[in-house]
């Protein structure tokens, strides 16, 4: 029986995918073998030696200490694409909110409650909330993955000219992008061309603060910016200065902070991107299936810190080795297995950055101390025998 701790409320349709005969799942589970999480902060948590995986029911993993998990042999999963449609729909809403002061207009209309001549007052006062239409304007999409690709395609259907950039665009993602979306070579090319800029990239050392004084200077006057990805992609001080000067006409963000709430020109949405019943269900199901496949069979799919490795089980046992991506380690792993008298039936090794994963299916005897022997190899973080 494996223990799976839920740090947040995880949709039941997802946790129901975990066989109760094999898993003990709940919010009060002790000594977890794995964790399911949405937004709970985990950076201050310490993990027991039996912890092998964390599944984030969502795309972003900034609430998880990914690097530390890597060296502790903990696989961190996310659920790319599961909430993509929900975020896409909010992005379309954000385009409208950036174009017209709908929020300000609604707040103003509410102040007319209890007064006479509301209809007349509305006709007299509505001009202060007028805006522009998106048809014929150019939308710059930064990141053309699961969400960005859907936003780009939807914007084309709405009559916008769309230019996008994604240095890491996969072949599969590229196939799903409308042929009318122009692919730019650099982010700067997008910034120069766009009337609207929408961000759909993770927060990394290369993207944090990407919208700043320098990048804003390359954009058109009156540009409108949408950020439903991560708060720290945008420098708050610089965006406020640009709003005050008129360089930026509007900023819509799904990540309110102390610096951005209540600021004229900023529409702060309370992190609603994936807050739909459908998104939460999709993320929960995907996260549960990823955990189940890894715990039971050692297969990895959609990990942010280890490579995707998946193959049918053959042989009597499967030996799973999480290790550093360094020379000669594979030969040491196979040598250690050979010393036990086991025969290698099938094997797969892949790497992702500094980390690698080796799966070996063996027939014959697998000695009880094989995990200890493999863990003694320099660079090996964790060994599981299934």
Based on the residue annotation, tell me whether 56 is a catalytic residue of this protein. Answer: no
**306 with 381: CB under 8 angstroms?**
no
Query: 3-state secondary structure string, the chain?
Result: CEEEEECCCCCHHHHCCCCCCCEEEECCCCCCCEEEECCCCCCCCCCCCCCCEEEECCCCCCCCCHHHHHHCCCEEECCCCCCHHHHHHHHHHHHHHHHCCHHHHHHHHHCCCCCCCHHHHHHHHHHHHCCCCCCCCEEEEECCCHHHHHHHHHHHHCCCEEEEECCCCCHHHHHCCCCCCEECCCHHHHHHHCCEEEECCCCCCCCCCCECHHHHHCCCCCEEEEECCCHHHECHHHHHHHHHHCCEEEEEECCCCCCCCCCCCEEECCCCCCCCHHHHHHHHHHHHHHHHHHHHHCCECCECCCCCECCCCCCCEEEEEEEECCCCHHHHHHHHHHCCCCEEEEEEEEEECCEEEEEEEEECCCCCCHHHHHHCCCCEEEEEEC
Q: Is 116 a catalytic residue?
A: no
Kindly give the pairing relationship between strand 182-183 and strand 161-165.
parallel
What's the CA gap between 14 and 18, in Å, rounded? Answer: 8
Structural contact between residues 267 and 101, judged by C-beta atoms closer than 8 angstroms: no
Q: Is 182 a catalytic residue?
A: no
Single out the catalytic residue among 38, 224, 230, 323. Answer: 230
Given the residues 271, 296, 345, 384, the one annotated as active site: 271
Active site residues: 230, 258, 271
């Amino acid at each position: 029986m494996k223990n799976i701790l839920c740090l947040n409320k995880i949709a039941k349709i997802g946790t129901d995918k975990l066989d109760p005969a094999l898993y003990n799942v709940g919010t009060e589970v002790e000594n977890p073998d794995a964790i399911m999480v949405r937004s709970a902060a985990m950076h201050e948590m310490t993990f027991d030696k039996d912890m092998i995986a964390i599944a984030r029911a969502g795309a972003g993993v900034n609430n998880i200490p990914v690097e530390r998990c890597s060296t502790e042999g903990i696989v961190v999963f996310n659920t790319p694409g599961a909430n993509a449609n929900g975020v896409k729909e909010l992005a379309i809403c954000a385009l409208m909110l950036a174009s017209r002061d709908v929020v300000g207009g609604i707040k103003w209309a509410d102040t007319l409650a209890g007064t006479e001549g509301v209809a007349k007052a509305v006709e007299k006062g509505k001009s202060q909330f007028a805006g522009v239409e998106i048809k014929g304007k150019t939308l710059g999409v930064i990141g053309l993955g699961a969400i960005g690709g859907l936003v780009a395609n939807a914007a084309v259907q709405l009559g916008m000219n769309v230019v996008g950039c994604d240095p890491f665009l996969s072949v599969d993602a590229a196939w799903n992008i409308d042929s009318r979306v122009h692919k730019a070579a650099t982010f700067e090319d997008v910034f120069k061309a766009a009337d609207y800029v929408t961000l759909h990239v993770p927060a990394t050392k290369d993207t944090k603060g990407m919208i700043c004084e320098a990048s804003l200077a390359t954009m058109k006057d009156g540009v409108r910016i949408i950020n439903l990805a991560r708060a720290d992609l945008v420098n708050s001080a610089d965006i406020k200065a640009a709003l005050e000067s008129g360089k930026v006409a509007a900023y819509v963000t799904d990540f309110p902070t102390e610096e951005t709430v209540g600021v004229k020109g900023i529409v702060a949405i309370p992190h609603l991107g994936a807050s739909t019943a459908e998104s939460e269900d999709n993320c929960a199901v995907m996260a549960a299936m990823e955990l189940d496949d890894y715990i039971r069979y050692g297969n990895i799919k959609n990990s942010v810190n280890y490579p995707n490795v998946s193959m049918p089980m053959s042989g009597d046992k499967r030996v799973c080795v999480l290790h550093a991506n360094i020379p000669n380690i594979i030969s040491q792993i196979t040598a250690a297995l050979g010393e036990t008298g086991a025969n290698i039936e099938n094997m797969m090794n892949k790497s992702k950055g500094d980390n690698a994963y080796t799966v070996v299916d063996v027939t014959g005897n697998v000695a009880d101390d094989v995990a200890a022997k493999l863990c003694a190899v320099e660079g090996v973080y964790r060994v599981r025998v299934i």
